[in-house]
Structure 1
Amino acid sequence: MKRVVTVLMEHFKRWGVDHIFGVPGKAVVPLVLEAGNQGIDYVLARHEAGAGYEAGGYAWRRGLGVAAGTSGPGGTNMITAAGQAKVFHQPVFFLTGHPSMKETGKPLGQDSTFFGTDLVQMFQSVTLFSARVERGEVLKSYLAHAVEKAVTGRRGPVHLAIPYDVLTEPIEPFELPFPEREPGTVSSRLDRVFPLLSGAQRPLLFLGKGVHLSGAYEEVRALAEGWGLPVATTPGGKGTFPTVHPLSLGSYGLGGGPEAEEYIRNGVDLLIVIGTSLSDMSLPALKPAEYPRHVIQFDVEPAFVGKSLPAPTLFIQGCAKTNLQALLKEMRAFAGTGVALAAAAIDSPAEHAGLQPAAGEAALAESGQEKAPDADAPALTARETMGILGEVLPEEATVIGDDGSHSYHAVRHLAVKRAGSFLFDDVFASMGHAIGYSIGAQLASPKERFVCLTGDGCLFMNGSELSTAVNSGANVIFVVLNNGRLDMVNKGMRAHVGRTDGTVFEIPLNVKGYAEAMGCRAFRCGTGDELRRALTAALALEETVVIEAMVDPEELPPTLARG
């Protein structure tokens, strides 16, 4: 016989989990102690939301992350992180406690059943599976259901609430294998793709974050190059295709650039959509006259297919990587039938978009979304910051963008040299989540170099996790754009309602001082040269580094296209 908590921790260890993130509390003390017994590092987060984000970043690199919080507020604090993981499709195991199953129904502190704060019910809408293990004998079936939901199919977070007395209950030990993620079946509709491709005169390959999730980087590149397809990415799809590639038109949607916008404005007869549900963040200003004539949409599930664009849509269901691999196998045979493939890659994205070489900058200025440089403005701008990051960061570095203007400046201006080197969520968009994701990813893959791109507003929300990074040895480089305000909301309110109430910090955050108080090495930069020197120094250090970039508070973000 073994205790429930022992069997549980043995499974996590066997499944490759070496770190669990959380904040201890009485209801989960057995879990914390048993993690140590099994050689699992219990990473003390500074807040349960931070623990959930850190588990999300860990899951992104390891395939499974675990966050543990005590009953009551420990669990409720993790709910936002669960919502972020669900939209990001990250397989995170959320574990919460409860004082005592046997005492349920009596007045209990931090009660997590329906007599108090029902965590099982609260987690249901932000996870793929949420259940309470009310006796030890059901652990095996509940654990099997939870891990299958987490790591197979569409993937995402799950939640188990295990009361204190159940954690310590003796049970017959068992062993569950880690579910293998099947590649999935190949769509029977793939043969209908080639006629649409061969007949298209102005096609566009439109990539979302599903390419990140499936790891289909090589497949989309081969498809684009094989058919000479121009490529645009959604904000969340930034990083799925190198922006330096001749076929890249950059990003479209919120924060998108002029090349993709101009190309779409001039007409698209076939839109090949891979890994995006085409949310309002991806199509914020698309006019009816700009709708494509036909759509081919690759996605795991049909929930939003055909809902955003009133155009005939060929739905290719299943894993994008699997279906693209099958499609690419047929390309050579199809070409051999005498039907010519599309034209070869063009010389520049601006040329393919129908722009003259310098037209991109002019389009930005005319759109009113980008402010022309001002001699009297502060020396450093967000746009310049992105240019310097692209210049100084090595190709192997991976940038994780937080939610705010800073990341939309990156969506438009940051050069991506390697597919998979930029990660950003534009849908759930919880501010500060990238701070935790960067820490979790760094601990999951310590030989990689991770850079967190965040802002002062995000740091106000989850900046205490800098201390977690220092104490756990997560040597992330945090680049914090500081303009003393919630910039995206500030500029949006100014443009649309003429007021900016509640968006400016009366006393701005001293990021360098704050970071140093958390134990970080910190730099403050007000010029491009200072930023270059700070980044170069940070790359040479093996410690947690925070770089504060003091940017122009009046610079307009590239997000004003959404109403």
Structure 2
Amino acid sequence: MKGAAAIAEILKREGVEFLVGYPVNPIIEAAAEADIRTIIVRQERTGLHMADGYSRLSSGRRVGVFAMQHGPGSENAFGGVAQAYADSVPIVVLPAGFPRHLTNIPPNFNSFLNYRHVTKWIEQVTLASTIPDVMRRAFTQVRNGRPRPVLVETPRDVFTEEVPEPLDYVPPMRTRTAPDPQAVSEVARVLIEAKRPVLYAGQGIHYAQAWSELRELAELLAIPVTTSLQGKSAFPENHPLSLGSGGRSIPQAVHHFLQNADVIFGIGCSFSTTNYGIAMPRGKVFIHATLDPADLNKDIRADYALIGDAQLTLQALIAEVKDRLGSPRQEQAQQVAAEIKKIKTEWLNKWMPKLTSDEVPLSPYRVLWDLMHTVDRSNTIITHDAGSPRDQLSPFWETVTPLSYIGWGKSTQLGYGLGLIMGAKLAEPEKLCINVMGDAAIGFTGMDFETAVRERIPILTILLNNFSMAIEIPIMQVATEKYRSTDISGNYADMAKAFGGYGERITQPSEIIPAIKRGIQKTQEGIPALLEFITAKEITYSVFK
């Protein structure tokens, strides 16, 4: 068995159904021979984003895999791997490498050397006979501990070397760790004694599939819940104890309860400081429950810590709290829910003029509000893009089921959402999969809408086109006045049609909902749809200082 065929066989044994890639890499052909569907993209970064989205939608149980060419392919792919690393997403990256006699000679790009800071595990295959061992180590790392990319670089000449048969490879196990019981007991005491605790849930809840446990603890202690962008949809946002979610822009209830909290309990989160995440107030007692001890005291000083899988951590806490508390705090839950409802209602009333605006050009808030009230949210997966679409969507979109919102923002590459939602559609083909992007973002990855058409991945793209990088206007006033540096243009509905998809440009408020329904119908017919809404240069966001 040749090296490339051995890698393909290992992918098959690991349950890999799709290999996303860009030629030339011998693994692509070997995978096709092994009956693994190969999906070719228009650029490497989008392909990695697809693998990323695919992994997220199964909580990492099914891992996205991407293969690319040595040299320029590996160079082009760097941003996609860096994004997955920043957002802690488990993917397997399989670049080809220069032949061994050239791999360390400048200017040849060496992935093994250059990707070290954006991967959890990285290895170069030096002998074909070691391929089973190398791949076993890679899949062990991607399936265990903190989820992040792993990379295996295979020099071109290794692909054609023989690997001993029968192939000695068994997929590695998945393991979990639980927190110190003594620490659990102490944290349970702190939570019970807290006067105004807040529960802050991150994407560790998704990877641990700890949604029911999160809800049970919140209801047991009557604790209001908010989430990070990555953790959004971990807790149903129509629940009376939900504060909503956010990143740079947030619902008012999130701000109010965090500012007035005495204890903030972060579970399955890193508490990383970022401009695109919730800013944690100072002077609070922080409980940090995380899978990765490297997160502790990195950005927020932890007063108490629990290290382990989020589901096991919550199960241990629930048992301890029940022993101490007995029955759920129903009266307190009613009081907290009433306070949340009052603040949410006041906040939404302030925003209703924008959410229901009849202005032309269209209010992007009206487009997103009508979208939310048109789709079946229980059967929909949605993601934002960087910039205004993220800040306009995340506070107002109310999630009702787990893994129905792909939130991101530790790194904020424009165009990320298109590949994410294509990967999500591969993982959940029966669901309506929507990405919301602006006219800046589509300039980075829009060519891969053609990939969605060609590969029969019927997504719905909501494009907010204001012919501008509006979010940059306040900080580029002179450049805009002198050189129109924030102006951009294009007819993206026509672009979608030229690629063989469905495209429609919408300019009137009365046409928003009918157009959305037509777009959904096209996706149900197996045709990717792009709805281009001509919007105002809106730069007002739900931000609190």
TM-score by length of 1: 0.88
Distance in 2 of aligned mates of 1:482 and 1:276: 34
Distance in 1 of aligned mates of 2:487 and 2:275: 30
- 1:213-240 CA distance string (max 9 Å, x none): 3222211111111111111222333222
* Secondary structure at the counterpart of residue 514 of structure 1: helix
Q: Which residue of 2 aligns with 1:17?
A: 16
1:346 corresponds to 2:346 = no
1:308 corresponds to 2:313 = no
Distance in 2 of aligned mates of 1:328 and 1:20: 40
Distance in 1 of aligned mates of 2:274 and 2:488: 34
Q: Which residue of 2 aligns with 1:510?
A: 491
Distance in 2 of aligned mates of 1:180 and 1:84: 26
Distance in 1 of aligned mates of 2:411 and 2:484: 20
User: What is the CA distance between 1:353 and its match in structure 2?
Assistant: 4.5
1:544 corresponds to 2:493 = no
User: What is the CA distance between 1:389 and its match in structure 2?
Assistant: 1.9
1:280/1:60 Cα in 2 relative to 1: closer, same or farther (>3 Å)? closer
- 1:466-511 CA distance string (max 9 Å, x none): 11111111111111111222333335x26xx887588855441212
Distance in 2 of aligned mates of 1:391 and 1:69: 41
8 Å contact kept, 1:21–1:42: yes
User: What is the CA distance between 1:88 and its match in structure 2?
Assistant: 2.7
| Percentage of matched positions with identical amino acids | 23
1:275 corresponds to 2:268 = yes
* Secondary structure at the counterpart of residue 57 of structure 2: helix
8 Å contact kept, 1:255–1:411: yes
Q: Which residue of 2 aligns with 1:50?
A: 46
Where do residues 37-76 of structure 1 align in structure 2 (5 Å cutoff)? 37-61=33-57, 63-76=62-75
Alignment equivalent of 1:215, drawn from 205, 209, 212: 209
User: What is the CA distance between 1:540 and its match in structure 2?
Assistant: 2.3
Q: Which residue of 1 aligns with 2:447?
A: 464
State the one-letter code of the partner of 1:472: E
Q: Which runs of 5+ in 1 are unaligned?
A: 106-110
Aligned-residue Cα RMSD (Å) equals 2.7
User: What is the CA distance between 1:313 and its match in structure 2?
Assistant: 1.6
Distance in 1 of aligned mates of 2:126 and 2:517: 54
1:448 corresponds to 2:431 = yes
Distance in 1 of aligned mates of 2:343 and 2:30: 64
* Secondary structure at the counterpart of residue 205 of structure 1: strand
8 Å contact kept, 1:198–1:340: no
Q: Which residue of 1 aligns with 2:223?
A: 229
Q: Which residue of 2 aligns with 1:481?
A: 464
State the one-letter code of the partner of 2:90: P
Distance in 1 of aligned mates of 2:514 and 2:76: 38
1:128/1:287 Cα in 2 relative to 1: closer, same or farther (>3 Å)? closer
Give the number of equivalent residue pairs: 534
Q: Which residue of 2 aligns with 1:388?
A: 370
Q: Which residue of 2 aligns with 1:148?
A: 140
Distance in 1 of aligned mates of 2:152 and 2:307: 30
Alignment equivalent of 2:395, drawn from 412, 433, 445: 412
Q: Which residue of 2 aligns with 1:36?
A: 32
1:295 corresponds to 2:286 = yes
1:160/1:307 Cα in 2 relative to 1: closer, same or farther (>3 Å)? closer
Q: Compare 387-396 and 247-256 and name the one that shifted more.
A: 247-256
8 Å contact kept, 1:113–1:119: no
Alignment equivalent of 1:205, drawn from 186, 194, 199: 199
Distance in 2 of aligned mates of 1:532 and 1:187: 52
Distance in 2 of aligned mates of 1:464 and 1:357: 40
User: What is the CA distance between 1:209 and its match in structure 2?
Assistant: 2.4
8 Å contact kept, 1:198–1:341: no
1:443/1:187 Cα in 2 relative to 1: closer, same or farther (>3 Å)? same
1:177/1:422 Cα in 2 relative to 1: closer, same or farther (>3 Å)? same
8 Å contact kept, 2:363–2:536: yes
1:364/1:133 Cα in 2 relative to 1: closer, same or farther (>3 Å)? same
1:359 corresponds to 2:351 = no
Distance in 1 of aligned mates of 2:8 and 2:428: 21
8 Å contact kept, 1:152–1:179: no
User: What is the CA distance between 1:249 and its match in structure 2?
Assistant: 1.5
8 Å contact kept, 1:11–1:175: no
Distance in 2 of aligned mates of 1:331 and 1:417: 26
- 1:202-261 CA distance string (max 9 Å, x none): 111112222223222211111111111111222333222222211112235511121221
1:248/1:483 Cα in 2 relative to 1: closer, same or farther (>3 Å)? same
Q: Compare 145-154 and 352-361 and name the one that shifted more.
A: 352-361
User: What is the CA distance between 1:447 and its match in structure 2?
Assistant: 2.3
Q: Which residue of 1 aligns with 2:156?
A: 164
Q: Which runs of 5+ in 2 are unaligned?
A: none
1:87 corresponds to 2:83 = no
State the one-letter code of the partner of 1:16: G
Q: Which residue of 1 aligns with 2:323?
A: 333
Q: Which residue of 2 aligns with 1:108?
A: none
8 Å contact kept, 2:258–2:264: no
Distance in 2 of aligned mates of 1:229 and 1:354: 14
